[in-house]
Chain A
Amino acid sequence: MWTHLRALIVKEMLALLKDKKSRLVLIAPPIIQLFVFGYAATFDLNHVRYAVLNEDSGGASRELLARFEGSGTFECAARLSNDTQIAPVIDNKRALLVIRFPSDFSRNLESGRSADVQVNVDGRNSNSAMLVLNYVQTIISSFNSSWIKAHGGRAPPANLVVRPWYNPNLVSRWFIVPGIVGLLTLLVTLLITALSVAREREAGTFDQLLVTPLSPFEILLGKAIPGVLLGLTEATAIILIIVFWFKIPLLGSLIALYLGLLLFLLSSIGVGLMISSLAVTQQQGLLGAFLFLVPSIILSGFSTPIANMPEYLQTLTLINPLRYFIVILRSVFLEGATVNLLWPQYWPMAVIGCVCLFSSAQLFRRRMY
């Protein structure tokens, strides 16, 4: 049994790593994606271009504008002179927002009345629009409290003291990047396992394998173990890049992380082998992998929270192994979670993995011929 397995594993590793093309497929896309995701996938706003229509001649509006300039987030794209210019600026995407100070802005403020400032936001990207409004609100709030301090007047009876945990500067890269470990591990293991049997079928080596005394179970394990080994290696490499290149803190226990990783590999390889035992050609294997991959990424909470989905989709995510692993990743990286805290995530992956492996063994036995 052990001789058989070792031979199968060595063969599989050699077949995967000796060919330049397949080595490239295993190494290049994950690295490219890691960097693309790491840098491009951000919900934070930088370089927000704004235009100003300042009908006010007083100093207060200039003081407020100076805060926009100094925030580092906003960049002035245009100064407008009348309100007919507002629409074209937004329509043509020259600026994401137009700030308009009415002519009585400074006068109202100085006489102790509330002064309005109108902000027009391009809502084509609703998320950006909402974030911009939040940024603007923050700037105005801080302006308000310093205005009150400087000019007297009653402060509001209560004020908010906001303290974000785990991610004090609310950098969305911290949120996205740990999730990539799960995403890429899934991609690689699925590609390895889902195509492996079909590739052998097409090359004719599968028949050659089947006429040997190897049992279906051994052949299956021989396909699964190289997937685990490569998945572990690849995940470790990505984790190292995340910690040392992207400088994202890894606060929790490595044991908790790797226990999750192992269980996740178990379940994703189970799925891959299930696809493999059904696919006759590599094309079908690729299609199957793709059909599993896209929904499982979207429904994992990787880019948008599961809580925002409709109820029935939320229920559907319960069978998605990536969902649990993403939670583990973020908890271990950012929240410093330990094994104890993560049981609710571990056991579903173990169940999914066992069910998939068992049923692929069954399918495999039946489709041996």
Chain B
Amino acid sequence: MRFLQNPDPERRAGRMRMRGMLRKEALQIIRDPSSIAIAFVLPIVLLFLFGYGISLDAKHVPLAVVVESPSAETAGFAASFEQSEYLSPQRFGTIQEAEQALIHHTVNGIVWLRNDFEEKLLSGESAPIGVIINGVDANTARIIEGYVNGAWTSWLQQRAAAHAGTLNIPVRLQPRVWFNAEMRSRNFLIPGLIAVIMTLIGALLTAMVVAREWERGTMEALMVTPVTAKELLLGKLLPYFILGMGGLLLSIGMAMWLFDVPLRGSLLLLLLTSALFLVAALGMGLTISTAARDQFVAGQIAIVATFLPAFMLSGFIFDINSMPAAVQLVTRLIAARYYVAILQTVFLAGNVWKVILLNSVVLVLFCVFFLGLARRRMVKRLD
């Protein structure tokens, strides 16, 4: 009763309650290895797996080279493939053998020089070079097509130089790849992966942790103390925010020093925007936990509603612009999408303010929305 009469002690009591909640949560985090595991071991495992396991860069693609009647010209052509680090050519005598190899997946493509190749070449008639590619993996097939195209062009140029003639190509492509000149897929996958990891830490961890309190009956015990709903939320938010930022620093460190991803923008900016996303993810986790009161269901919802979309629809691996219009609309509802855009820009392009500010504003909206929702639903009532 004495707190009710004097407003200042009430404020002090609020601070004391906050201290209690934070201390409790910190002790639990330290004692329970699973939350530390989610925050620190998970990023390491995922970064390793993705960093090394997922690569779109095809190298040493086995390619069958079929030369039906070998000659100096065909030798020159075949040699141009051997120079490429992307292709590893294997010689076959007949097209039938090569096709068998393609069917059995021992080669991914065939380059086929027919009997009449040299004859046509010398006659000035354009000699066809047959290229068969296993198209099942369309992406790899295109990349192989590009490599074969490159090898062919360089052979043409060398041949022209050797015959002291000029090669007449009307339009020549002069490609310049910005930000990622060597086109390493790791450079774009790893920053995107950080978004997936932060989603996992933020949403899954908090959803499970709050659900655990419901399951063990500690929530009911907390609710009848004078602690306010705001204090309950903050008590969960703050410790896991710190834990999440720890996981973030670890991920950034690994990205920069283990995977050699360049950080062209400012680290401070990266941390600030990441903090913003983390708060939004924590808000999502808290919102889920106000709906699901057992860990199993909370975990399921967290995975389906946050982790999978962050994985599939954030532009982390699959380009959003290539998706059907309806799916593109859906991606706009996914916070990770905006964070992925910021991450890829800050890492590879630098401080491009327009991209960063625009996406940050959206992230702020997400924070406000989810925290507000969690606050509204976190009523100290049981029904």
Contact = CB atoms under 8 A, between A and B. Distances in A.
Q: Are A and B in direct contact (Cβ within 8 Å)? A: yes
Interface string B299-343: 110001000110011010111011110110001000000000100
A21 B297 contact: yes
Interface in A24-62: 25, 28-29, 32-33, 36-37, 39-49
Nearest to A286: B299
A304 B350 CA distance: 28
A287 B179 CA distance: 38
Interface in B65-89: 77
Q: Which of B46, B135, B167 has the most CB of A within 10 A?
A: B135
Interface string B155-189: 01001000000011111111111111101110110
Given A129-B180, A157-B156, A119 B174 contact: yes
Contact of A148 (B170, B173, B304, B324): B170
Given A90-B178, A170-B141, A165 B58 contact: no
A161 B131 contact: yes
Interface string A73-95: 00000000000000010111100
Interface stretch (A108-116, A214-222, A269-277): A108-116
A153 B102 contact: no
Contacts of B142: 131, 134, 170
A136 interface: yes
Interface in A110-168: 112, 114-131, 133-134, 136-137, 140-141, 143-144, 147-148, 153-168
A161 B318 CA distance: 29
B173 A47 contact: no
A114 B172 contact: yes
A161 B128 contact: yes
A286 B352 CA distance: 41
Interface string A281-325: 011001100000011001100011101111001000000000000
A165 B133 contact: yes
Contact of B49 (A91, A144, A174, A299): A299
A223 interface: no
Interface residues of B, number: 99
B141 A164 contact: yes
A96 B321 CA distance: 10
Given A123-B180, A165-B134, A47 B171 contact: no
B246 interface: no
A341 interface: yes
A364 interface: no
B369 interface: no
Contacts of A40: 312-313, 318, 323, 327, 331
A64 interface: yes
Interface stretch (B19-27, B119-127, B274-282): B119-127
B103 A29 contact: no
A41 B45 CA distance: 23
A283 to B, nearest CB: 6
A157 B348 CA distance: 41
Nearest to A178: B136
B43 to A, nearest CB: 13
A121 B173 CA distance: 12
Nearest to B46: A294
A120 B172 contact: no
Interface string A329-360: 01000110000010000000000000000000
Given A44-B322, A168-B135, A308-B58, A121 B176 contact: yes
A114 B143 CA distance: 26
A172 interface: yes
B213 to A, nearest CB: 14
Given A158-B152, A309-B53, A124 B171 contact: no
A171 interface: yes
A175 interface: yes
B243 interface: no
B135 A165 contact: yes
A10 B148 CA distance: 58
Q: How large is the interface on A (under 10, 10 to 19, 20 to 34, 35 or more residues)?
A: 35 or more
B154 interface: no
Contact of A43 (B132, B156, B318): B318
A162 B111 CA distance: 9
Interface string B220-257: 00000000000000000000000000000000000000
Contacts of B115: none
Contacts of A129: 177, 180, 183
A304 B143 contact: no
A335 B136 contact: yes
Nearest to B127: A158
Given A156-B126, A157-B159, A335-B103, A115 B171 contact: yes
Given A118-B174, A130-B146, A299-B49, A341 B103 contact: yes
A163 B130 contact: yes
Contacts of B324: 39
Interface of A: 21, 25, 28-29, 32-33, 36-37, 39-49, 64, 88, 90-93, 96, 109, 112, 114-131, 133-134, 136-137, 140-141, 143-144, 147-148, 153-168, 170-172, 174-175, 195, 282-283, 286-287, 294-295, 298-299, 303-305, 307-310, 313, 327, 330, 334-335, 341
16 contacts: A39-B327, A119-B174, A124-B188, A126-B57, A129-B177, A130-B146, A136-B175, A144-B169, A158-B117, A160-B148, A162-B131, A164-B134, A171-B138, A298-B54, A308-B59, A309-B55
Interface of B: 34, 45-46, 49-50, 52-61, 77, 102-105, 117, 121, 124, 126-143, 145-146, 148-149, 152, 156, 159, 167-181, 183-185, 187-188, 208, 295-297, 299-300, 304, 308-309, 312-313, 315, 317-319, 321-324, 326-327, 331, 341, 344-345, 348-350, 352, 354-355
Q: Which 3 A-B pairs have the closest CB atoms?
A: A164-B135, A123-B180, A167-B135
Given A43-B322, A123-B177, 8 more contacts: A47-B321, A64-B171, A158-B152, A171-B138, A175-B137, A295-B45, A299-B53, A308-B55
